[in-house]
Chain A
Amino acid sequence: MAWDRKRRRGFDTGPIGFVSRNLLLAFLTVVAFGALVVSRAQDGIFDGVREAVTDAGAPLMEAVAAPAAEFKRWNEGFSSFFSVYEENQRLREENVRLRTNLTELAELQRKTQRYEELLKVRPDEKITFVAARVIADATGPFVRTVLVNAGREQGLAKGQAVIDERGLLGRVITTGNRSARVLLLTDLNSRVPVLIEGSNLKAIMVGDNSGKPVLEYLPLGSRIKAGARIVTTPDGGVFPPGVAVGIVSTSKTPRVDLFTGEARADFVRVLKYTPSVDVDNAGPEPLPGATPSKEGGAPATPGTPGQPAANAPKPPKTTPVAAGMRVRPDA
């Protein structure tokens, strides 16, 4: 009776009535919102669960990816069928050009080796790699990641650089036992220290979910040429030096045309690179002639050894890159 009276008065209509009829929906909405707040407040709190879920789902994704790869190959074969003559001509010309380049390259390699021997240059760290297959392309409106079918068991670790045959693709952000997630360069959480060849300027390449990442932290007043090649730098100890990234775009703001573009490769290589210097624990280089402090760390210039000099010049307010900014591997 009471229920009938309430209905007549309109208690079962409106937002309150809707919620009271859909209590599970309301409860789950609150749970989802709570999970979102917690994941925002404590970064990486769900990483363990995520890795376990990704690992569990990896065989399924691999099963889906296998016919998808076959379909992709078939689709590519079909679309190239009509341009096979032009493609053949282009490849012939490219082959001739590459043969010439190869001879020049061998000559340059010999020269470089000779100069390095003369200058007693310390050889670069040897970089090994793990080949892996892309099993899922989880690219959404604001997340740009891919899943690969190699994980901790294959020696993958957080922060390792991932490349394909064209250049740098991204870096590993989470690793399961048999799978890993790669954050692409275009993702808005991606930060990569890069070097602009020719001008020798350093910058941080920042993803913003568009196809072309932005170059930030460039020195004030610096000029960069459109078309200049961009490679990685070992600053921060995450990426090996000299991995091809892209070229400076012709747009107004300094952006990068990535060599990898928007299309994904089927197979990638995860680089196992360990910098020769532990960048997180290494102190600054001692100045020539300066007395090392007792702690063995900071160089002591005019003041007392081991203590910062009161009249020591402040570091110039140039850019974080110039001041030795480090990129957080989990940024």
Chain B
Amino acid sequence: MLEVVQIGIYWAARQVFYALPLLLTLTALLIAMAPLNLFQGYAPAPDIVLASVFFWAIFGPQFLPAWAVFTLGLTQDFATGGPIGFWALIYLLAYGFSLSQRVFFFGRTVRGVWLGFAIVALVTAVVTWIAGSTYFMRWLPIGPILAQAGVSILAFPLVAKAFLFMRGYLTTAREAL
């Protein structure tokens, strides 16, 4: 009986451990929504979810599977009050695109991966703009979307460093568990 409980605890701990990328991204999403107003609302916050989706699609899709990306997108939809399914769709498309280019990006230098994210962020911004304009049936101003993509590109090295640290821990701890 004790062994069964032990196995159960280990299993649960393992699941939480491997869900760390999802939990960390969700936490970042919630913190980004805190009413800090650091730049008086003139500079948009970076899209940490997109950076996370790109990073894990390239460096460890097993740690952030499609259902986790769907959860992140849906959480953002509920949290922002936007149309349900919008961000889930956008992030899944970005994840799919990044995943399909995984072989190309894997093993590149930091600058190469950064350039890759810049391309993905800009393509995602354009897709978001087209999808948003189609949904609301009017041309939305593209400026704020591109500004957010720009801030996300600038913030990517910092975000990637944190995730890289976590990835190293996750991959080496696999044997330990």
User: In the assembly, what is the distance between CA of A46 and CA of B81, in Å?
Assistant: 10
A199 proximal to B (CB < 8 A): no
Within B48-93, which residues are at the interface with A (CB < 8 Å)? 65-67, 69-70, 73-74, 78-86, 88-89, 92-93
Within A101-140, which residues are at the interface with B (CB < 8 Å)? 134-140
A171 proximal to B (CB < 8 A): no
User: In the assembly, what is the distance between CA of A120 and CA of B144, in Å?
Assistant: 51
B30 and chain A: residue at smallest CB distance: A64
What B residues does A24 contact at CB under 8 A?
65-67
Closest beta carbon of chain B to A4's beta carbon, Å: 21
B165 proximal to A (CB < 8 A): no
A28-B88, A139-B41 given as contacts; is B34 within 8 A of A181 (CB)? no
What A residues does B41 contact at CB under 8 A?
139, 211, 261-264
User: In the assembly, what is the distance between CA of A71 and CA of B33, in Å?
Assistant: 14
Are A136 and B96 in touch, CB under 8 angstroms?
no
Closest beta carbon of chain A to B133's beta carbon, Å: 9
What A residues does B38 contact at CB under 8 A?
75
Are A53 and B78 in touch, CB under 8 angstroms?
yes
Closest beta carbon of chain A to B128's beta carbon, Å: 7
What A residues does B35 contact at CB under 8 A?
65, 68-69, 72, 134-137, 146, 264, 266
B76 and chain A: residue at smallest CB distance: A140
Q: How many residues of B contact A (CB 8 A)?
A: 47
Within A22-71, which residues are at the interface with B (CB < 8 Å)? 22, 24-25, 28-29, 31-36, 38-40, 46, 49-50, 53-54, 57, 60-61, 64-65, 68-69, 71
> What 0/1 readout, one digit per residue, does chain B (91-114) give for beta carbons within 8 Å of chain A?
011011001100000000000000
A18 proximal to B (CB < 8 A): yes
In the complex, which of the residues B80, B86, B92, B140 has the most CB atoms of chain A within 10 Å of its own CB atom? Answer: B80
Within A248-278, which residues are at the interface with B (CB < 8 Å)? 261-264, 266
In the complex, which of the residues A50, A140, A266 has the most CB atoms of chain B within 10 Å of its own CB atom? Answer: A140
B169 proximal to A (CB < 8 A): no
A145 proximal to B (CB < 8 A): yes
B141 proximal to A (CB < 8 A): yes
User: In the assembly, what is the distance between CA of A54 and CA of B35, in Å?
Assistant: 16
Closest beta carbon of chain A to B107's beta carbon, Å: 20
A61-B33, A136-B34, A264-B41 given as contacts; is B83 within 8 A of A39 (CB)? yes
A141 proximal to B (CB < 8 A): yes
What B residues does A263 contact at CB under 8 A?
37, 40-41
B173 proximal to A (CB < 8 A): no
A160 proximal to B (CB < 8 A): no
Closest beta carbon of chain B to A293's beta carbon, Å: 40
User: In the assembly, what is the distance between CA of A62 and CA of B172, in Å?
Assistant: 36
A142 proximal to B (CB < 8 A): yes
Which residue from B65, B74, B80 sits with its C-beta under 8 Å from A143? Answer: B80
Are B81 and A33 in touch, CB under 8 angstroms?
no
User: In the assembly, what is the distance between CA of A140 and CA of B89, in Å?
Assistant: 16
Are B37 and A188 in touch, CB under 8 angstroms?
no
B44 proximal to A (CB < 8 A): yes
Are B79 and A25 in touch, CB under 8 angstroms?
no
Closest beta carbon of chain B to A127's beta carbon, Å: 25
A190 proximal to B (CB < 8 A): no
Closest beta carbon of chain A to B172's beta carbon, Å: 27
A173 proximal to B (CB < 8 A): yes
A18-B100, A25-B95, A141-B148 given as contacts; is B36 within 8 A of A68 (CB)? yes
A139-B41, A266-B35 given as contacts; is B96 within 8 A of A22 (CB)? yes
B31 proximal to A (CB < 8 A): yes
Closest beta carbon of chain B to A239's beta carbon, Å: 20
* Contact surface of B with A, Cβ cutoff 8 Å: 30-31, 33-38, 40-42, 44, 65-67, 69-70, 73-74, 78-86, 88-89, 92-93, 95-96, 99-100, 128, 132, 135-136, 138, 140-141, 143-145, 148
- 26 CB contacts below 8 A, A to B, read A18-B99, A25-B95, A28-B66, A28-B69, A28-B92, A29-B89, A29-B92, A50-B84, A57-B79, A61-B34, A64-B30, A65-B34, A68-B35, A72-B37, A136-B35, A138-B80, A139-B41, A140-B82, A141-B144, A141-B148, A146-B35, A188-B136, A188-B138, A209-B140, A262-B41, A264-B41
Task: Given contact pairs A35-B88, A264-B37, enumerate 14 new A-B contacts (beta carbons under 8 Å).
Answer: A25-B96, A46-B84, A50-B78, A57-B79, A64-B33, A64-B34, A68-B34, A71-B36, A72-B35, A136-B33, A138-B33, A142-B82, A145-B80, A266-B35
4 tightest CB-CB pairs across the interface, nearest first? A262-B41, A35-B85, A68-B34, A36-B85
